[in-house]
Amino acid sequence: MSEPSSLMQAIRSAPVVVTGGAGAIGSRLVRRLLELEPSSLSVIDDLSSGHRWLVPDDERLDFQRLDVCELSAELLPVERPWVFHLAAFFANQNSVDHPIEDLRRNGQGTLGTLLWASAQTGRRLVYASAGCSIAGHGVDAPIREEMPVSLDLDTPYQITKALGEFYCNYFADQLSTVRCRFFNSYGPGEVPGRYRNVIPNFVWAALHDRPLTITGTGDETRDFIFVDDLVDGLLRAAVTPAAHGGAFNLGTGVQTRIGDLAELIRDACGSRSTIRFAPRRPWDKSTHRQADISRARAELGFAPKVPLAEGIERTVEWFRAHRQPIERSISETPR
């Protein structure tokens, strides 16, 4: 996608802070930001689910291992920054198993980041919300931003991601915020694990010729967006003046069957893996999920460009190139 020069200029004009910058998406955002050469770049992460090796060793970047619940002007005295708040407890199953920790990190963590950003007179805070959080289950049509907020969410994670949106709106008089609702992100940077998304887990299993286990029938669909396209949407959400106070779906608008995804990954890995089926997880009540991205297209100029097959190829390439650190990170992650 051609990049508006105004985007680069706006990012260069002020310091940037990324919370959760050692995570799957945050680390890709950090790489992209370094290319845009902001006046300063601070990366905050407590490494609870992120990995230090994902963050480039670059002298232009200040990495602080810090819990966002503890953010303060003393610890992070950055004036008038752009803030990308991605730090979070990830994700649905993890929150079902650890609901209190989910509330602390996603609820208190987002409130703490907003309070800090507001005290620093932040230019804007872009909040990483979730497409699964707002409309609830049973919505088979493409999800639009203006759909009513459901009071019947399925996991503590969905509740606390929605809570973050409420807090963003609460701060409207003091701080410009934009809420970006991510659909299923995938790509280089996501280490597999019990609580991680389907794509890294399928790729890792396929590279080892282990079975790919679908929790469901394989007919379920999701909207998968390549991480670098998502990052492009986040940058646009930050610097587009008219996005102030808005919510934007960042997906592709394309649904993919999980059964087709498993076959695509198996082929891309040249794997002998079998495909198995297990019962759906009890909280997983959404059979289909697809974003309507017309608002982000029209108002942010957002246009995801990486088709799934190409994105999977690039993801597999990344796994092949980083086998050792991935292996190490998997073995270090508590299960």
By annotation, the residues acting in catalysis are 157
Nearer to ligand NAD, 27 or 271 (CB): 27
Identify which of residues 87 and 243 has a Cβ nearer to ligand NAD in the complex: 87
Instruction: Quote the CA–CA distance of 332 and 335 in Å, as a whole number.
Output: 9
Instruction: Identify whether the C-beta of residue 302 lies closer than 8 Å to the C-beta of residue 236.
Output: yes
At its nearest, how many Å lie between ligand NAD and the CB of residue 196? 8
Q: Contact residues for ligand NAD (CB under 6 A)?
A: 19-20, 22-26, 44-50, 67-69, 86-90, 105, 109, 128, 130, 161, 182, 184-185, 197
Q: Taking the chain, what is the end-to-end CA distance rounded to the nearest angstrom?
A: 39
| Torsional sign, CA 250, 251, 252, 254 | negative
3-state secondary structure of 280: coil
CB 310 within 8 A of CB 186: no
Burial class (CB in 10 A: 0-12, 13-18, 19+), 280: middle
Minimum CB separation of residue 71 from ligand NAD in Å reads 8
Our CB check for ligand NAD shows the closer of 15 and 116 to be 116
Q: Cβ contacts of residue 226 below 8 Å, gap of 6+?
A: 185, 186, 187, 304, 306, 308, 310, 311, 314
**Considering beta carbons, is residue 65 or 270 the nearer one to ligand NAD?**
65
Min separation Cβ 294 and ligand NAD, Å: 19
Cα(75)–Cα(64) distance, integer angstroms: 9
| Crossing angle of the two packed helices 156-170 and 109-119, in degrees rounded to 10 | 20
CA atoms within 13 A on the CB side of 78: 24
- Read off the tokens for 180: 């970006």
286-312 burial string, b = 16+ CB within 10 Å, else e?
bebbbbbbebbeeebbbebebebeebb
* H-only helix segments in 272-307: 294-300
Residue 6 C-beta: closest distance to ligand NAD, Å: 25
In this complex, which beta carbon is closest to ligand NAD, that of residue 241 or of residue 334?
A: 334
Q: Which is nearer to ligand NAD, 26 or 142 (CB)?
A: 26
The nearest distance, CB 300 to ligand NAD, in angstroms, is 17
